[in-house]
Structure 1
Amino acid sequence: MKALLMLENGMTFEGTGFGYEHDVVCEVVFNSAMCGYTELLTDPSYAGQGVVMTYPLVGNYGICYDDAESTKPWLGAFIVRSVSGIASNFRCDVDLDTYLKQNKVPGLCGVDTRALTRVLRESGTMRGMIAYGDKVDLDSMKKQIEAFVLESHVPAVSDREGKLYGDGPIKVALADYGVKHNIIRCLVKRGCTVKCFPYDATLEDYLAFAPDGVMLSNGPGDPQACAKSIAELKRIYAHGIPTFGICLGHQLMALSQGCDTYKLKYGHRGINHPVKDLSTNRVYISSQNHGFVVNADSVNPAVADVSFISMNDGSVEGLNYKNGKVFTVQFHPEASSGPLDTGFLFDRFIDLMGGSRI
């Protein structure tokens, strides 16, 4: 079926529908990864977003359920240049088109994604709408885009079941703001028992588990919309529990300690972003997926030191807090998909909780 993408600036891009052909309004962003679309589709941090893939061919190795980062795809729409008609992979469980149909995710292919990406880089992330059919009402699309309000998806992606993973001697309470499964796997393989807590859990909820440490997960959207989580993290920090935060968890902890955050023009989304460790001057390649960052000028040197910066734009990529019990990073050291350069940060967390017991 014919389909049309309209951006909030009025630009349109024609293409062909695939997946679940249903009109959708979302925030349009781009990702520069050349692989890992299964992990991307199931990353809760993309909830409500229409993701443009800059790499031209997607779907060639199908969908492998074992690579999923959550129980289902969360993104609002998937926009690609070309969809492979063949899924060639001995691990393939289902082809991309069928997977999107099964999970009701709209797809758009045949779009000049390089031109679209340049628009998003030059003008910034925008709201957009995909409409399907031979004839679409441009005026109606424009009105729907204008009426679209970006909402916090954290309550929807956070797990409320209190699931338990692993059976190791180190107990980690995980604040689930939309956690990627590989964060849990990285902790379990290091001898941790991980219990997930919902985004609005209280300090008392965490303490009832008697954790050795707290893990703050990634998640979608504007961190300033998570007021309750920020308030509880302020209490967790004051209590002195060893804490490691990733992505949204990094931003929320910073806000709880008086820092500010702001929205990037077009965000960092890909698996080849260089970050510099300021303590060693060593550069690592990282996986990233975020639209907001901590404002460096708002970091009180009496509270925290900037530990990592982005080599692309100089933005804050990590903080070490002066209480000696908390550190956070903006990038994804669990790197699924992506490079494994910064996996040592999980070992640092283990050391902060008293070291390995296995």
Structure 2
Amino acid sequence: MKAFLILEDGTVFTGTSIGSTKDMISEIVFNTSMTGYLEVLTDPSYAGQAVVMTYPLIGNYGITPDMESRKAWPDGYIVRELSRMPSNFRCEGTIQDFLKEQDIPGIAGIDTRALTKILREKGTMNGMITTNENYNLDEILPKLKAYTVGDVVSKVTCDEKYVLEGNGPKVALMDFGAKKNIAKSLNERGCEVTVYPAGTKAEEIIASEPDGIMLSNGPGDPETCVSIIEEIKKLYNTDIPIFAICLGHQLMALANGAKTYKLKYGHRGGNHPVKDLTNNRVYISSQNHGYAVDGTSIDPKVAKEAFINVNDGTNEGLAYEGKNIFTVQFHPEACPGPLDSGYLFDRFMDMMKGAK
């Protein structure tokens, strides 16, 4: 069956329908990872977006037990070619069947390189995937321009708190759309991890007397998380060590008077170099974000830049003055991506031990 990807600038790509055949309008973003497509599909940070995979062949090892959350979150999936015969000893099915089960519409057989060049040159834009060959651009384009991602954190967070048992420090993990490997990375280091829904009040977290607090990744525009930012302000005013990743990093910055802004086309993939300003070493990182903290808006008495992006100089992390708080824009838990920055979890462990 034919499918069409229509961008808000009027560009149309024609390909083959994969997954669900329903019409979809979403923000179109691209990911440069060469592997880890299942982790990308199940990363809650993609809620409200349709993902273009720049690597030309997707699905060659099928669906494996590597899901980063309970379901797939992107609104749509866009690839050059889907593997017809997946081969892997862990393979449990095909990506085609997975997309149908998850009710995610997609399109294959288009020039994803040309599409990515458009998104890089013009910036991220909205688009539609449809199987309707009689589509009307005059009707569709206004709808595309009017689309907004809106509140997606409430859709991806857990419904109620739960605990991963451990014999070490007690960590409260705020779930704004947390990937499973964040809790797993802490749990493997002996931590007892209690995962809390995004709307949990700071008073409940503080009353549980955690040794540390983790603020997770998540989707959407950080400035829309007004009530969550107010709770983070209360957590900041305690002496509890805090480590934040991605959206959590942005929310902590906003809670302390900094500003965020939307990047032209974001950072999404497993090959982004970041420089640790404490030791001048460069690490290759996994990233997935469309917004960034404005480094010039940070009060130097509150925090200093700890990491920067080597490619474009954007802020990639903050260390808070006089506080046991550090935050990073990238994903030290990876999945998918390199494990170069996994040492940051060890830094958090040392911070919690030092606070005792």
Fold match (TM-score > 0.5): yes
Rounded to whole Å, the distance in 2 between the matches of 1:227 and 1:262 is: 15
Rounded to whole Å, the distance in 1 between the matches of 2:168 and 2:277 is: 33
Residues 1-358 of structure 1 mapped to structure 2, 5 A cutoff: 1-64=1-64, 66-354=65-353
Rounded to whole Å, the distance in 2 between the matches of 1:209 and 1:42 is: 30
Check whether the contact 2:151–2:224 (CA below 8 A) recurs between aligned residues: yes
Rounded to whole Å, the distance in 2 between the matches of 1:169 and 1:245 is: 20
Check whether the contact 2:304–2:320 (CA below 8 A) recurs between aligned residues: yes
Deviation at 1:313, TM superposition (A): 0.3
- For 2:17, the aligned partner's letter is G
Deviation at 1:17, TM superposition (A): 0.5
Deviation at 1:147, TM superposition (A): 2.9
Greater CA drift, 133-142 or 220-229:
133-142
Deviation at 1:166, TM superposition (A): 2.5
Check whether the contact 1:167–1:193 (CA below 8 A) recurs between aligned residues: yes
- For 2:79, the aligned partner's letter is V
Q: Residue deviations 1:84-123, cap 9 Å, x none?
A: 1011011011100000000101111011000000000000
SS in 2 for 1:353: helix
**TM-aligned CA distance change 1:140 to 1:194, over 3 Å:** same
- For 1:55, the aligned partner's letter is Y
Rounded to whole Å, the distance in 2 between the matches of 1:116 and 1:51 is: 11
Q: Residue deviations 1:162-201, cap 9 Å, x none?
A: 0111222311001100000000110000011111111111
Compute the TM-score of the two structures, normalised by the length of structure 1. Answer: 0.97
Rounded to whole Å, the distance in 2 between the matches of 1:134 and 1:22 is: 13
SS in 2 for 1:342: helix
Rounded to whole Å, the distance in 2 between the matches of 1:44 and 1:175 is: 14
- For 2:66, the aligned partner's letter is D
Rounded to whole Å, the distance in 1 between the matches of 2:258 and 2:169 is: 31
Check whether the contact 2:206–2:235 (CA below 8 A) recurs between aligned residues: no
Compute the TM-score of the two structures, normalised by the length of structure 2. Answer: 0.98
Q: Residue deviations 1:249-294, cap 9 Å, x none?
A: 0000000011000000000000000000111110000000000000
**TM-aligned CA distance change 1:148 to 1:198, over 3 Å:** same
Deviation at 1:239, TM superposition (A): 1.2
Greater CA drift, 130-139 or 98-107:
130-139
Check whether the contact 1:4–1:13 (CA below 8 A) recurs between aligned residues: yes
Rounded to whole Å, the distance in 1 between the matches of 2:207 and 2:28 is: 41
Rounded to whole Å, the distance in 1 between the matches of 2:354 and 2:93 is: 41
Deviation at 1:337, TM superposition (A): 1.0
4+ residue runs over 4 A deviation: none
Deviation at 1:356, TM superposition (A): 12
Rounded to whole Å, the distance in 2 between the matches of 1:248 and 1:348 is: 20
Rounded to whole Å, the distance in 1 between the matches of 2:136 and 2:164 is: 49
- For 1:2, the aligned partner's letter is K
Deviation at 1:207, TM superposition (A): 1.8
Deviation at 1:355, TM superposition (A): 6.0
Check whether the contact 1:350–1:356 (CA below 8 A) recurs between aligned residues: no
Deviation at 1:307, TM superposition (A): 0.3
Check whether the contact 1:43–1:70 (CA below 8 A) recurs between aligned residues: yes
Rounded to whole Å, the distance in 2 between the matches of 1:302 and 1:173 is: 27
Unmatched 5+ residue regions in structure 1? none
- For 1:174, the aligned partner's letter is L
Deviation at 1:349, TM superposition (A): 0.5
- For 2:59, the aligned partner's letter is G
